[in-house]
Amino acid sequence: MKLTVFYDGQFWVGVLEEVIDEKLKAVRYVFGSEPYDWDVMNFVNQRMLSWISRAGEAGRGFYFCSRSYQERP
């Protein structure tokens, strides 16, 4: 499993990738403004596994989900 956080020119985005049985699952997560370390850790510890699980429910080889994260004050 791999999480890459980058600035796409407008928003800070996290892309989570996981390969299972030669199938790639990828989830795009929009943080919005530049995330603090604790924003990324909160995503990893509380949201990441549910996001990749939801992506796997479709039963195909490549999945792409997107949602914004704006919980920070």
Per residue in 39-56, pLDDT tens? 899 888 887 877 777 766
Provide, rounded to the nearest whole percent, the portion of the chain with pLDDT above 70.
Answer: 71
Query: Is there a domain that residue 45 lies in?
Result: yes
Containing structural domain, residue 6 = 2-65
The count of structural domains within the chain is 1
Q: Closest Cα partner for 48 from 6, 17, 7, 12?
A: 17
Mean per-residue pLDDT for 6-22?
87
The size of the chain, in residues, is 73
Give this prediction's pTM: 0.67
Position 55 in a domain? yes
Question: Is residue 20 in some structural domain?
Answer: yes
Residue 73 placed within a domain: no
Hey, what amino acid is at 27? V
Determine the average pLDDT of the residues in 24-52: 84
